[in-house]
Amino acid sequence: MGINRATLGRIGKKLNGMLADLEAEVASTVGGMRGGTGAFPDPTDRASLESDRNLTLRIRDRERMLKKKIEDAIARIEDGTFGLCEVCGEQIGIERLEARPVTTLCIDCKESQEEDESRLKTG
C-alpha cells in the first residue's frame, strides 16, 4: 500500500515551503554578514563578532544539509520512491512522514540505528 496522491501533494507542498524558508534565511544571513565589517578597537568586541559569525556559519551548514535532504525527498516524490525505508524497503508510516518528511528510515530501522550509535558511544 503506497501513499495516496493527496498525502503526497500535502507533503510535497510542505517540503517546498521548508525549502523556500531555508533559502530566504540563507539570503538574509549572507546580506547580514556582508554589512557589518567595521573595525573594532576593542578585542572583546572583535572576539564577540567572530564568535557570532562562527555560530551563524555552523547554523547555515546545518541548514545546507537540511536543504539537501529536502531536495532529495522532493526527488523521491517525483520518482515514486518517497515513503520507502532505505534499509528494509518497507513503507514508512504516514504519521512519521507527516512529522519528518525528509526521513528515509522507518521507525524500526531508525530505532535500531540509534541503538547502534548509543552502543558505539558507550562502548
pLDDT digits (tens, 9 = 90+) for 54-75: 988 898 889 899 999 999 999 9
Measured CA distances, 5 to 12, 24, 52, 64 (Å): 10, 28, 44, 28
Q: What are the backbone dihedrals phi and psi of residue 42, each rounded to the nearest 5 degrees, phi first?
A: -90, 120
CA distance 74 to 101: 9
pLDDT of the residue at 47: 87
Which of 5-9, 46-50, 68-72 has the weakest average pLDDT? 46-50
Question: 82-97, pLDDT tens digit by residue?
Answer: 999 999 999 999 999 9
Rounded to 10 deg, the angle between the 43-79 and 5-35 helix axes is 160
Supply the pLDDT for residue 41: 76
Q: What is the mean pLDDT of the chain?
A: 89
pLDDT band for 116, please (50, 70, 90 cuts): very high
pLDDT at 26: 77
Tell whether the model's pLDDT for residue 37 goes beyond 60: no
- Contact between 92 and 98 (Cβ < 8 Å): no
| Domains of the chain from N-terminus onward | 5-122 (1.20.120.910)
